[in-house]
Amino acid sequence: MVIGWLQATAVVFSFGDAKFYGSAGAEHLNSPIVGMAVTPSGGGYWMIASDGGIFTYGDSQYAGNAVSSDNGGSVVGIAAVQRHRTSETSIFYYPWYSSVPHDGSWRHWDQGGNTPPNYIGSDYWPEAGPYSSADTTVTTAQMQQIKNAGINTVIISWWGQGSWEDSTLATLIPEAQTLGLRIAAHIEPYAGRTAASVGTDETYLQGRGINEFYIYQADGLSQSGLKADNDALGAGVRVFAEAGSFASMRNGTFESWAAGAHFTGVYSYAGFGYTANDFDAICDAAHANHILCSDSVSPGFSGLRATSIKSVVGRANGATYDASWQAAINAGSDIVSITSYNEWHEGTQIEPAVPNATAQLSYQGAYGDTTDDARGAYLNRTAMWTSAYSSRFTPAFG
């Protein structure tokens, strides 16, 4: 990006990939323009006159000027303060599994017409076998793994009040809190979900100690209704939106829509809908609309056994995950979210997996490890990435 201005007239010239957002060329200036600074997003700029007057263009915001200051002379320049960066990380978690040994019936492991315990709805096999999300022996170990991987927030898939997933919060919340983990709710498209019901859900979940919400396929709901929901929330509550349309997220339409609904930010989520090459555009559009960006990193995608989605994103022995992480960091993602801890149906999980005669895929070969230790390869790699991330930026929590 290269931009310039003609001091006497404040006419702006743009070169290379720099965009023109306007100028003061037609305005009467009491003093000449003496400086220009680009916003952190690159989507705008400030111009300052020698008397301290500030002119804003693009996504720059007016925060005052020095015209009335007794500066003892003329202003000679301007500098933009870079966006404060944190190393906040989160992970999508699914508490929707049940088992015959623990609960008397199978839930989700039989997706896609599979017959557990020998055949399950996944192209991979969990180290813990087809477990129950109500088994505290399992969930306590899972929360510890997430903590050990350096992750801050667990985003729990939630399917409405009174649902199976809702019932698991009673144990998951205290387990997470004991380890210093935050809990967020991923409000899924349950039957009858509306903007009004989402508002009611948020009030209910706040009563259970949750103050962060992720709204899946938010653009299928009323923008004005969601705006009213978001405006009604108290200080310290954050709400993020995901788009049902991948194209709208890529071209910035959705980020503008989310900003209009007063969301805190957007997240990409899908392990197959975006590539690492999309992350720059997503964050640029979010920041241009003055909202946060959470690019979602994923190790791959494979849901052939359990879903109707035919897209497959290979793990490339870990290279896909690494590329995703690096792109999210480079894009200036405010929160790096991970898809997922245990969405076994879509093969995005990083929960430990083992080879199995009835499973098509395993982690063996990931990062060059062909031993049994490969079962934890992606959790170990996540710990490496969160450590590298936190060393570059200010930790978000604790």
* pLDDT above 70 (res 16): no
Residue 374's SS3 state is helix
* Residue 59 forms part of a structural domain: yes
CA distances from 99 to 26, 134, 211 (A): 71, 9, 30
Which pLDDT value is given to residue 368? 96
366 in a domain, yes or no? yes
Q: At what angle do helices 223-232 and 195-206 cross, to 10 degrees?
A: 20
Does residue 375 belong to any structural domain of this protein? yes
Q: What pLDDT, in 10s, does the model give residues 61-114? A: 566 776 655 555 678 777 665 555 668 999 999 999 999 999 999 999 999 999
Whether residue 398 is contained in a domain is answered as no
Do 74 and 105 have their domain in common?
A: no
Residue in the block written with tokens 């898809």: 339
How many whole angstroms separate alpha carbon 181 and alpha carbon 147? 7
Instruction: Evaluate whether 363 touches 375 at the Cβ level (below 8 Å).
Output: yes
Q: What is the average pLDDT across 356-363?
A: 92
Question: pTM of the predicted model, to two decimals?
Answer: 0.83
Distance from the first to the final alpha carbon of the chain: 37
Report the share of the chain in percent with pLDDT over 90.
73
CA angle 31, 32, 36 (to 5 degrees): 125
- The pLDDT tens digits for 133-145 are 999 999 999 999 9
Same structural domain for residues 68 and 116? Answer: no
**Within this chain, do residues 236 and 333 fall inside the same structural domain, yes or no?**
yes
Q: Name the domain boundary from 82, 113, 143.
A: 82
Stretch 155-168: mean pLDDT, rounded?
98
39 and 118 in a single domain? The answer is no
> Does 381 share its domain with 358?
yes
Domain residue limits at 4: 1-82
Average pLDDT over residues 113-135: 97
Indicate if 263 and 388 belong to the same structural domain.
Answer: yes
| pLDDT score recorded for residue 35 | 81
Asked whether the beta carbons of 257 and 224 are under 8 A apart, the reply is no
Average pLDDT over residues 234-243: 95
| Average pLDDT taken over every residue of the chain | 90
**Rounded distance between C-alpha atoms, residue 127 and residue 368, angstroms:** 19
277: CATH: 3.20.20.80
Degrees, nearest 5: CA angle 142-143-146: 90
pLDDT at 297 over 90: yes
- The tokens of 225 are what? 């209704």
Q: 243 and 209, same structural domain?
A: yes
Residue 331 tokens, joined: 């894009």
Q: What is the mean pLDDT of residues 340-348?
A: 98
Query: How large is the average pLDDT for residues 221-241?
Result: 97
| 146 lies in the same domain as 290 | yes
Q: How many domains does the chain have?
A: 2
From 330, 318, 341, select the one nearest 389 (Cα to Cα).
330
Last residue of a domain, one of 82, 108, 136: 82
